[in-house]
């Protein structure tokens, strides 16, 4: 009954590679060349993979981002405990090469399906779950120093954008001030080959990033971005890499400050932390995704008093919230900042959380007409 998959016939490259694809391709083919070189020299083939454990991650106070250290793990073909991981690494590299050859991209799940098969003459599968291929993809990213996006892999799409900017996406000029209520759906891959940003086509003076799409809809309906000449984005919760990379590019290439409006809870702090410094899991991409200068506009733990909110709109903290808040207070980039320490201490003292939507209890448009404009004009934010 069981059917074997026919061996994939490699298509000839159909496309002209971009300069960046050429660079990535050189790195990918080097993985294969090294197997050949090792074989010819009668050495055991191996790859060295920078270690993605917490112990190999540190915070660079100078660059203000999370960085990876220099620890590497050697993955050998002729080592029973490493052979499978070694072969998977080469397999994923070859899968990415196929994508570049064809000038196509696929999803993480697509790559899993592309590569999943039973090794001939055995009962061993290359991968049994997508988790396994996802992990190897991260290994390949960090081994080659190529972002997943450069390997032509995309993830789920999240987030929308409106505002005073014209973005060129795949050759089309998209005037984001004329997107109505829907907005421009932020793609998963926003690398310069796809998304071109041009200072001359951006009139906005800053980016306002909000946590949730429902809050974004409020800001868009009130045409906040028009009144305040900005760009409005949301990340549907924790922003994807695509969104963070776009914020990074808007900040670095167009020199736009990034202001965040997030919930007053540990999750909101964490979202800010990831936008600002990068994530611990994926420290290797911080350099191209983190925005150390991003500002935290709110909601602040003082807002219960400052905005005269009622007890009707507070949310009780649980043990996990308290634990997370304390952990975040100890992050090196918050630990030495007094304003952040008081912010988090105040939340713990409050012993409640506040969502951005709680401001609706003041007025439907309080957040867009009062809260954010006041913070901006007073330059009142955490850094």
The contact set with its own copies (CB under 8 A) reads 1-5, 98-99, 102, 104-110, 112-114, 116-118, 125, 154-157, 160, 168-174, 178-189, 194-195, 213-218, 221, 236, 308-313, 355, 357-358, 360-361, 364-365
CB of 182 to its own copies, least distance (A): 4
- Is 366 a catalytic site residue? no
Residue 322 or 362 having the CB closest to its own copies: 362
CB of 368 to its own copies, least distance (A): 10
Close Cβ partners of 378 (under 8 Å, ≥ 6 residues apart): none
- E strand spans, the chain: 46-50, 57-60, 65-68, 72-76, 106-107, 153-154, 160-163, 166-169, 172-175, 184-185, 195-196, 206-210, 230-234, 258-261, 295-298, 315-316, 352-353
Pairing of strands 206-210, 258-261: parallel
Residue 50 or 187 having the CB closest to its own copies: 187
Q: Please state, in angstroms and rounded to a whole number, the distance separating the CA atoms of residues 333 and 61.
A: 8
> Coil, strand, or helix at residue 301?
coil
Q: Please state, in angstroms and rounded to a whole number, the distance separating the CA atoms of residues 124 and 241.
A: 33
Token readout for 200 is 């001359």
Residue 155 or 280 having the CB closest to its own copies: 155
CB of 176 to its own copies, least distance (A): 10
CB of 108 closer than 8 Å to CB of 133: yes
CB of 343 closer than 8 Å to CB of 335: no
> Coil, strand, or helix at residue 222?
coil
Residue 160 or 265 having the CB closest to its own copies: 160
CB of 32 to its own copies, least distance (A): 20
Q: Please state, in angstroms and rounded to a whole number, the distance separating the CA atoms of residues 117 and 126.
A: 6
Choose the catalytic residue: 113, 184, 259, 366: 113
The total of other beta-carbon atoms located within 10 Å of residue 375's CB is 18
Residue 343 or 355 having the CB closest to its own copies: 355
Close Cβ partners of 80 (under 8 Å, ≥ 6 residues apart): none
Residue 50 or 159 having the CB closest to its own copies: 159
Residue 364 zone, left/alpha/beta (φ > 0; ψ -120 to 50; rest): alpha
DSSP letter for 70, please: S
Q: Please state, in angstroms and rounded to a whole number, the distance separating the CA atoms of residues 262 and 270.
A: 10
Token readout for 138 is 């991260």
CB of 123 to its own copies, least distance (A): 12
CB of 106 to its own copies, least distance (A): 6
Residue 4 or 200 having the CB closest to its own copies: 4
Give catalytic residues, as residue numbers: 113
């Amino acid at each position: 009954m069981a059917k074997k998959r026919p061996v994939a016939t490699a298509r000839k490259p159909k496309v002209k590679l971009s300069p960046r694809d050429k660079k990535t391709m050189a790195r990918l083919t080097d993985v294969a060349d090294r197997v050949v070189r090792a074989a010819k020299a009668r050495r055991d083939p191996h790859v060295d993979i920078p270690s993605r454990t917490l112990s190999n991650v540190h915070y660079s106070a100078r660059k203000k981002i999370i960085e990876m250290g220099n620890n590497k793990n050697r993955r050998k073909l002729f080592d029973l405990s490493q052979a499978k991981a070694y072969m998977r690494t080469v397999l994923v590299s070859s899968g990415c090469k196929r994508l570049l050859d064809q000038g196509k991209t696929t999803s993480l799940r697509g790559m899993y399906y592309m590569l999943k098969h039973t090794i001939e003459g055995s009962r061993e599968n290359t991968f049994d779950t997508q988790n396994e291929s996802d992990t190897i993809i991260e290994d390949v990213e960090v081994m080659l120093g190529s972002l997943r996006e450069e390997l032509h892999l995309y993830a789920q799409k999240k987030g929308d954008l409106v505002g005073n900017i014209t973005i060129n996406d795949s050759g089309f000029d998209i005037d984001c001030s004329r997107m109505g209520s829907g907005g421009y759906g932020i793609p998963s891959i926003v690398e310069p080959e796809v998304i071109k940003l041009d200072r001359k086509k951006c009139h906005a003076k800053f980016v306002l990033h909000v946590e949730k799409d429902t809050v974004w809809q409020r800001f868009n309906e009130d045409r906040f971005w028009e009144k305040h000449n900005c760009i409005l984005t949301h990340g549907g919760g924790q922003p994807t890499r695509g969104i963070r990379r776009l914020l990074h590019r808007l900040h670095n290439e167009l020199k736009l400050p990034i202001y965040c409006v997030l919930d007053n809870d540990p999750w909101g702090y964490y979202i800010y932390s990831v936008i600002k410094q990068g994530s611990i899991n994926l420290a290797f991409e911080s350099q191209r995704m983190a925005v150390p200068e991003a500002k935290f506009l709110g909601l602040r733990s003082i807002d219960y008093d400052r905005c005269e909110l009622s007890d009707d709109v507070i949310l009780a903290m649980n043990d996990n919230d308290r634990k997370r808040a304390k952990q975040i207070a100890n992050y090196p980039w918050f630990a030495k900042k007094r304003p952040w320490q008081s912010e988090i201490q105040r939340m713990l003292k409050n012993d409640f959380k506040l969502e951005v939507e709680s401001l609706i209890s003041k007025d439907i448009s309080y957040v867009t007409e009062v809260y954010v404009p006041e913070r901006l004009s007073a330059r009142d934010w955490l850094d």
